[in-house]
Amino acid sequence: MYNFLLPNEYVNNIFAITPEKLAALGIRGIITDLDNTLVEWDRPNATEELQTWLLQMKEAGIRIIIASNNNEARVKHFAEPIGIPYIFKARKPLGGAYYRALVRLKLRPEEVAMVGDQLLTDVMGGKRLKLYTFLVRPVAQSDGFVTRFNRFVERRVFNDLQRKGIRTWEDEA
């Protein structure tokens, strides 16, 4: 029942995703969400720690693209200064942005991971295209209106998984 909602891996933050871990999985590229995955949804710019992580990925040959449901102004303002390609108004979990991202990365689905903080958008969309999926803990404890609804549904899914004995990072909180 939850096949499209179960990520391949739960991580506390993006910094737990290393070039070595990706290489072991045969992953050469990342499609990443922006808000509450890389930075808080209301933080306009990348942190120094994030910039260091992105540089490590680049030096290891890992290609990265941002796919965000947010508007162009938000995503462009964040991505351009750090030189990361992006897709705005991605309409995740629909497949269009994922296909465009794969084309821009010049990689096949089995070579790409989706990294995000939401089951209903990031994980579901990535799983539909058979990408390896990482679900990260949200960077901020607050969310925009639509995301609050998604979090409500996620909480129900996590509770059901727990009742079925399926572990998530929620169990370690």
CA distances, 23 to each of 19, 20, 30, 111, 112 (Å): 6, 5, 12, 10, 11
Average per-residue pLDDT in the chain?
Answer: 88
pLDDT, tens digit, 9 for 90 and up, residues 69-128:
999 999 999 999 999 999 999 999 998 999 999 999 999 999 999 999 988 889 999 999
The whole-angstrom distance between residue 150's C-alpha and the CA centroid of its chain comes to: 15
Q: Tokens for 60, please give them.
A: 């290891």
Taking the model in full, what pTM does it have? 0.85
C-alpha–C-alpha distance, residues 138 and 51, integer Å: 18
DSSP code, position 9 = E
C-alpha–C-alpha distance, residues 81 and 98, integer Å: 23
pLDDT, tens digit, 9 for 90 and up, residues 142-154:
555 556 666 667 7
Mean pLDDT of 12-31: 97
Q: Give the domains, in start order, of the chain with CATH numbers.
A: 9-172 (3.40.50.1000)
pLDDT at 173: 43
